[in-house]
């Protein structure tokens, strides 16, 4: 009942946030990066349920490229490359398992035709596990670097709390499968 209004509110919030980010990166800093392109693609695809997992993967790739730009240490870059590979592999699985869930594809919505489908419960649970795992990795990854910043304790605590708290955006799609 409230899915559409909630979806519209989050879409507006996400659009304003991405627009402000692009304004900052293009006009003020004048140095756009891959993370900016990936977040724009993610926002553009967010509204489509079949590409929902692709949207989440692009958002996560954007975060990885943002972390790469913000935290350029050698050890951290190796962790980011490993995370990038894991996110790409799990993202490919989730996108493909959604797109070719049933063969032929239209059997997903028309069960009257002869078809072969993947086991629904297994696929959705596996995809959810991959989403949760990659979310947790991306939340935890910057925390050690942020914890070692030379900041007053209150400011550091606020920064860590803000980094680890959930944010509205493409991952908040209430109409997702």
| Residue 177: inside a domain | no
Q: Which residue has the tokens 């659009």?
A: 15
- In this prediction, residue 164 carries a pLDDT of 66
pLDDT tens digit sequence for 133-159: 999 999 999 888 888 888 888 887 887
Strand partners, 116: 103
Q: Which long-range contacts (CB under 8 A, 24 or more apart) does 45-54 make?
A: 46/11, 46/14, 46/170, 46/173, 47/11, 49/175, 49/176, 49/177, 50/98, 50/99, 51/95, 52/98, 52/173, 52/176, 52/177, 53/91, 53/94, 53/95, 53/98, 53/127, 53/131, 54/91, 54/95
Give the pair of three-digit tokens for residue 143.
């925390």
Counting the structural domains of the chain, the total is 1
- pLDDT tens sequence for the chain (177 residues): 677 788 788 888 888 988 898 888 888 888 888 888 888 887 887 767 668 888 899 999 999 998 998 888 899 999 999 999 999 999 999 999 888 888 887 877 787 888 888 888 999 899 999 999 999 999 999 888 888 888 888 887 887 777 666 554 444 444 444
- In this prediction, residue 167 carries a pLDDT of 54
- In this prediction, residue 131 carries a pLDDT of 94
User: Cis link prior to 101 (omega < 30° from 0)?
Assistant: no
pTM greater than 0.85 (yes/no): no
Q: How many alpha carbons fall within 13 Å on the CB side of residue 69?
A: 13
| Residues in CB range of 28: below 8 A, 6 or more apart | none
| Residue 123: inside a domain | yes
Q: Which residue has the tokens 């070692």?
A: 148
- Host domain of residue 44: 3-172
Give the pair of three-digit tokens for residue 97.
């398992």
- In this prediction, residue 177 carries a pLDDT of 42
């Amino acid at each position: 009942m409230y899915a559409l209004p909630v979806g519209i509110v989050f879409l507006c919030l996400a659009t304003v946030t991405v627009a402000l980010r692009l304004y900052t990166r293009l006009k003020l800093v004048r140095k756009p990066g891959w993370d900016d392109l990936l977040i724009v693609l993610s926002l553009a695809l967010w509204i489509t349920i079949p590409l929902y997992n692709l949207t989440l993967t692009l958002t996560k790739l954007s975060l990885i490229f943002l972390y790469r730009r913000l935290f350029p240490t050698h050890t951290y870059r190796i962790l980011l490359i490993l995370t990038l590979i894991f996110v790409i592999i799990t993202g490919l699985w989730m996108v493909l398992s959604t797109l070719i869930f049933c063969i032929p594809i239209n059997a997903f919505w028309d069960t009257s035709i002869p078809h072969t489908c993947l086991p629904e419960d297994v696929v959705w649970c596996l995809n959810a596990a991959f989403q949760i795992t990659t979310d947790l990795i991306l939340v935890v990854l910057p925390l050690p670097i942020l914890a070692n910043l030379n900041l007053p304790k209150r400011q550091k605590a606020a920064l860590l709390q803000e980094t680890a708290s959930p944010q509205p955006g493409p991952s908040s799609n209430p109409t997702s499968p």
